[in-house]
Chains A and B, each alone.
Chain A
Amino acid sequence: MKKQDCYNITFGGIGGQGIIKASELLGWAAMYDGWHVKKSEVHGMSQRGGSVESHVRFGRKIYSPLIGPGQADFLLCFHLDEHPRLVMFLKPGGTDLAGYLQQAEAMVENPKHVNTALMGVLSVFLPISEAGWQKAMETVFSPKIRDENRQVFQRAKALVK
């Protein structure tokens, strides 16, 4: 992908799927690589199984913390029931990564790692350095779960042909 001024990534699914954690990982990684980053979500009642949506935008200068309809470069869907609601964010020619959900689910032994697997997939498409991702994983994952998540992240990259 050509370097552009701004990258918009929409995440969506339901509470408890690690969506916030995944978007957190991207936010820190983009920041460590020197981008201006904004991320937005609503998690008021998400612990109770409601729909969750997270928007991450990074670039040279970011204004809006939200991605508008038809503005997302990438859509990361964590639950296919939510896909019809989320697809409207995708811009014409944007990349819908929903197709990787099943593969990510099949790849991991622990369902808690699906979010990290999808981030591994996403990382292939983004101009963020390996060092940025590694540092972000250091920040976002506690030492206990860091290595397993690192491995899942690396293995998932191979899903992108």
Chain B
Amino acid sequence: MNNKITCPVCGYDGFDHLPQQYDICPSCLLEFGVSDVDWTHDELRQDWIEHGAKWAWGSQDIPRPANWSACRQLLNLGYRVTPSDLLFMGITDLNADELARAQNRLTSAGKVCVGERRDGYQIQPSDVTVGSVFVISSGHVNARLSKPDAQSCALG
């Protein structure tokens, strides 16, 4: 049984004690009693996801747990990633099972595509594979897909 405390923003569940003011979550860098004074946990979670949902926001200076997965960790909160979350996050840290579940969700949610390129090509769930890289810039989602004919493109 896991008696550890869970971060309300990212689902990190490694706290040994109830976080005090100024304690920082090593995963999403929420500073308790600082970051969450003016912003809700939902707002902070979305911001973390839109920045890629990376461990320590991509810093190497805080040791990352082995086999860490943002999607798996978010499930600690009951939060399930959405197709747009996947675009922000990339899915390179998903294993095959998680990938299959993500793709199923894309389909079962009635969304047969995760976006449309400016040339009209409908991006299919099957285009989203391990190794897909998504880059956000200038208000557009630029997707670099792993399909042979894919190229960097702008969505939306």
Bind each other: no
Binding site for B on A (CB under 8 A): none
- Which B residues have a C-beta under 8 Å from some C-beta of A? none
